[in-house]
């Protein structure tokens, strides 16, 4: 597997684009995106676990009931959630894309992100349809990545390649999300394309496994959004033998897909609203995988840990506290805690007890843009990683005037 430049247009046969339709009040930001494959695709998706779901999710679930799709249309600036006409408008967005592309509306995935509870204006989308179609290109991933952003500060793209059956297979993706992010699909939209030949059933299995290891292991603020969607399209243009059963080829594809999703998850966590640091919690020595995952998420979700990292305070007590209320049967007298960054590593807790340490070194370690909290449980061989960010003054500022 190797990393390459590009996003959703890195794989053969995919085009993407984005335009400013005017859904957002700003005069400069793009807010309408389109992804398209002329070849029919196997397709699968994972959605939010929130009981309050955006209308686009209901429509996309219906459209993907046959495991096929060819296009994705996405707007930002308005979530089309908790509105009486939401389903009608989500279906109309599918029709708009289908009319421009000459495909069936049922072959379109639709997604929206932005303010909840406000009616989605359709006139701007209708008026921008032609320009949106014209924006499609094999180099258009960056436009699509920009058009799906809300409070994100940077677009998020990644792509990888691997060899399957003597053919080069490419997987690329774009994502958005930096607030209302919490494990259980985070607050995110993520669209992945691949030229791999794979059945929709195996694709569905792969994306659930990938989401479990990556997007379900990130948190910014503890809020699970209403519109989270992670969708994958596979058009088979690479010409590899179709993956129709679990085996070596499926495992290789799954590993590459998971690596791609992890890269995008890290980008989202590092771009958390108001964030100055990417936080990674790596738990080792756990009795089982679920314990490792639960403890890692508990640490990364702790507001006190997040605030301490913002203040560059090497306080082991906040980490130990988060481990203690995670609800897992860990031996607290065996826990070690250390902080690690490009500036070094410092052990702050051994066998459940705080240590005297070099405060100057600790300040250097925590001054980095990426900090890893190392938690060793000394109870087994299982491990897990979770991803988050520090908690800053700007988080409150951003969300205090989100609608305005």
CB 377 within 8 A of CB 295: yes
The 336-341 sheet, strands edge to edge = 353-354, 344-350, 336-341, 370-376, 278-286, 382-389
**Residue 261: other Cβ atoms inside 10 A:** 26
Query: N- to C-terminal Cα distance for the chain?
Result: 44
How far apart are alpha carbons 204 and 197 in whole angstroms? 13
Q: At what angle are helices 86-101 and 55-63 packed, to 10 degrees?
A: 50
What is the Rg, in whole angstroms, of the alpha carbon atoms belonging to the chain? 22
Annotated active-site residue 187? The verdict is yes
How far apart are alpha carbons 130 and 28 in whole angstroms? 19
Pairing of β 15-19 and β 2-3: unpaired
9, 113, 187, 294: the active-site residue: 187
How far apart are alpha carbons 48 and 270 in whole angstroms? 21
How far apart are alpha carbons 156 and 139 in whole angstroms? 15
Q: Which residues are catalytic?
A: 187
């Amino acid at each position: 597997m190797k990393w390459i430049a590009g996003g959703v247009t890195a794989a053969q046969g995919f085009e993407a684009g984005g335009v400013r339709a005017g859904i957002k009040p700003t005069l400069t930001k793009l807010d309408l995106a389109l992804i398209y494959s002329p070849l029919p695709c196997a397709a699968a998706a994972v959605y939010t676990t929130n009981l309050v779901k955006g209308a686009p999710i209901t429509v996309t679930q219906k459209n993907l009931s046959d495991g096929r799709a060819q296009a994705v249309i996405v707007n930002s600036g308005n979530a089309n959630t908790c509105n009486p006409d939401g389903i009608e408008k989500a279906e109309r967005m599918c029709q708009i894309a289908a009319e421009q592309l000459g495909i069936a509306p049922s072959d379109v995935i639709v997604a929206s992100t932005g303010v909840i509870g406000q009616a989605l204006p359709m006139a701007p989308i209708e008026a921008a349809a032609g320009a949106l179609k014209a924006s499609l290109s094999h180099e258009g991933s960056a436009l699509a990545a920009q058009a799906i952003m809300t409070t994100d500060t940077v677009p998020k793209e990644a792509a990888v390649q691997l060899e399957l059956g003597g053919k080069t297979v490419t997987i690329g993706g774009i994502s958005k999300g930096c607030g209302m992010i919490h494990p259980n699909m985070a607050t995110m939209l993520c669209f992945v394309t691949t030229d791999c030949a794979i059945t929709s059933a195996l694709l569905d299995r792969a994306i659930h496994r990938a989401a479990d290891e990556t997007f379900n292991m990130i948190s910014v603020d503890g809020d699970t959004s209403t519109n989270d969607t992670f969708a994958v399209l596979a058009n088979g243009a690479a010409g590899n033998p179709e993956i129709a059963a679990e085996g070596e080829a499926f495992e290789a594809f799954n590993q590459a897909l998971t690596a791609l999703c992890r890269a995008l998850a890290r980008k989202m966590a590092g771009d958390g609203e108001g964030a100055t640091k990417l936080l990674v919690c790596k738990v080792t020595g756990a009795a089982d995988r679920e314990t490792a995952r639960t403890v890692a998420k508990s640490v990364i979700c702790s507001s006190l840990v997040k605030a301490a990292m913002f203040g560059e305070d090497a306080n082991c007590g906040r980490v130990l506290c988060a481990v203690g209320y995670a609800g897992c049967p860990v031996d607290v007298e065996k826990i070690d805690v250390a902080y690690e960054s490009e500036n070094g590593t410092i052990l702050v807790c051994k066998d459940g007890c705080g240590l005297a340490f070099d405060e100057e070194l600790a300040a250097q370690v925590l001054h980095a843009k990426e900090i890893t909290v190392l938690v060793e449980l000394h109870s087994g061989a299982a491990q897990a990683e979770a991803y988050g960010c520090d908690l800053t003054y700007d988080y409150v500022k951003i969300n205090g005037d989100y609608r305005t």
